[in-house]
């Protein structure tokens, strides 16, 4: 999925088939929640194990106790240097599975690879399309990007500004990253980001597929999106957790459900 191009259904089928109808009876927060949970469903359950080349690279971002990891200073933002206690000689203490190791991995995966790389490339593609649909898609991607950025910040406190990393500002929204989004949704995304980082940093202790599915509240069936007449735009929370979700979860599919108000 390198762009939005080619995603329109054929005219003969578009009137009868809808892949994911996020209708007007859902609030903006509810639609954002669904997009975020579907994305992490793909990231957390799309593969049995991380690609070996990426796993090896990320594992090298850690060194045994007493040994420094040397990374060029220009790679880090000023806030990252401060948070990671960057040594003047270019070293960082980053033991395997330590917080510093997780911060290094999160700093590469989220703001640089996912947002500054993939999301920014999608936004650039849509910038070249003057259609209304492309503009709407761009706003949706930037809003989702802002949510992921805020979740990463809540968990790892790495980046001082979205302008510190190439591509990050275009993949997010200055207004949303400055004034914030739904706090509960940000907190849930922060937990999912941590699980993603653990998935890539602890190959010898990876959780099972079922556990990774259950870690995502949307795909585990623990989220119900309430109708607009129950939760307006200013209501909290945007999504409602089902405290007693007893639907069995399949590692190969989603048991998520949401309620829809009558048209």
Which DSSP string do the residues of 106-122 spell out, in sequence order? HHIIIIIIIIIIIIHHH
In contact, 115 and 173? CB cutoff 8 Å? no
Residue 109 domain flag: yes
Inform me whether the pLDDT recorded for 90 exceeds 90. Answer: no
pLDDT, tens digit, 9 for 90 and up, residues 197-228? 988 877 555 555 455 555 555 544 454 444 44
pLDDT of residue 185: 92
156 pLDDT higher than 80: yes
Higher pLDDT, 201 or 157: 157
Query: How confident is the model over 74-102, as a mean pLDDT?
Result: 88
Q: Which domain holds residue 63?
A: 23-241
**pLDDT score, position 202:** 74
pLDDT at 12 over 50: no
With cut-offs at 50, 70 and 90, classify the pLDDT of residue 56: confident
Q: Is residue 77 part of a domain?
A: yes
Rounded distance between C-alpha atoms, residue 18 and residue 9, angstroms: 9
Share of the chain above pLDDT 90, in %: 38
- Assess whether pLDDT exceeds 80 at residue 241: no
Give the residue with greater pLDDT, 206 vs 79.
79
259 belongs to a structural domain: no
In a domain, 68, yes or no: yes
Mean pLDDT throughout 121-143? 94
Residue 250 counted as domain residue:
no
Given a contact cutoff of 8 angstroms between Cβ atoms, the answer to whether 239 and 36 are in contact is: no
Most confident of 38-47, 82-91, 148-157, 251-260: 148-157
Beta strand 69-70 with 223-224 is unpaired
CA-to-CA distance for 109 and 204, rounded, in angstroms?
Answer: 19
Contact call for residues 59 and 104 (beta carbons, < 8 A):
no
Residue 16 is assigned to a structural domain of this protein: no
**Number of domains present in the structure of the chain:** 1
Higher pLDDT, 175 or 11: 175
Q: Which tops the pLDDT comparison, 210 or 176?
A: 176
List CB contacts of 234: < 8 A, sequence separation 6 or more. Answer: none
pLDDT above 80 (res 38): yes
Return mean pLDDT, the chain: 75
Strand 223-224 with 240-241, pairing: antiparallel
Q: Is residue 10 part of a domain?
A: no
Please indicate, yes or no, if residue 191 is contained in any of the structural domains.
Answer: yes
């Amino acid at each position: 999925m390198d762009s939005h191009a080619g995603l329109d259904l054929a005219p003969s089928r578009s009137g009868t088939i809808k892949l994911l109808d996020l209708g007007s009876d859902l609030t903006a927060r509810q639609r954002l929640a669904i997009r975020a949970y579907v994305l992490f469903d793909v990231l957390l359950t799309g593969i049995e194990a991380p690609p070996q080349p990426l796993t090896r690279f990320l594992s090298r971002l850690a060194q045994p106790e007493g040994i420094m990891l040397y990374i060029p200073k220009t790679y880090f933002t000023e806030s990252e240097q401060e948070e990671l206690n960057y040594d003047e000689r270019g070293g960082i203490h980053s033991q395997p599975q330590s917080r510093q190791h997780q911060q290094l991995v999160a700093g590469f995966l989220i703001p640089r690879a996912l947002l500054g790389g993939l999301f920014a490339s999608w936004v650039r593609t849509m910038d070249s399309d003057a259609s209304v649909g492309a503009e709407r898609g761009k706003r949706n991607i930037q809003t989702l990007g802002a949510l992921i950025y805020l979740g990463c910040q809540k968990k790892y406190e790495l980046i001082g500004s979205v302008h510190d990393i190439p591509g990050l500002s275009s993949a997010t929204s200055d207004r949303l990253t400055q004034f914030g989004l739904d706090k509960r949704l940000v907190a849930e995304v922060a937990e999912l980001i941590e699980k993603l980082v653990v998935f890539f940093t602890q190959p010898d202790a990876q959780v099972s597929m079922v556990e990774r599915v259950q870690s995502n509240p949307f795909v585990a069936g623990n989220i119900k999106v309430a109708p607009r007449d129950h939760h307006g735009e200013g209501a909290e929370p945007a999504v409602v957790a089902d405290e007693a979700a007893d639907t069995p979860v399949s590692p190969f599919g989603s048991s998520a459900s949401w309620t829809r108000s009558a048209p």
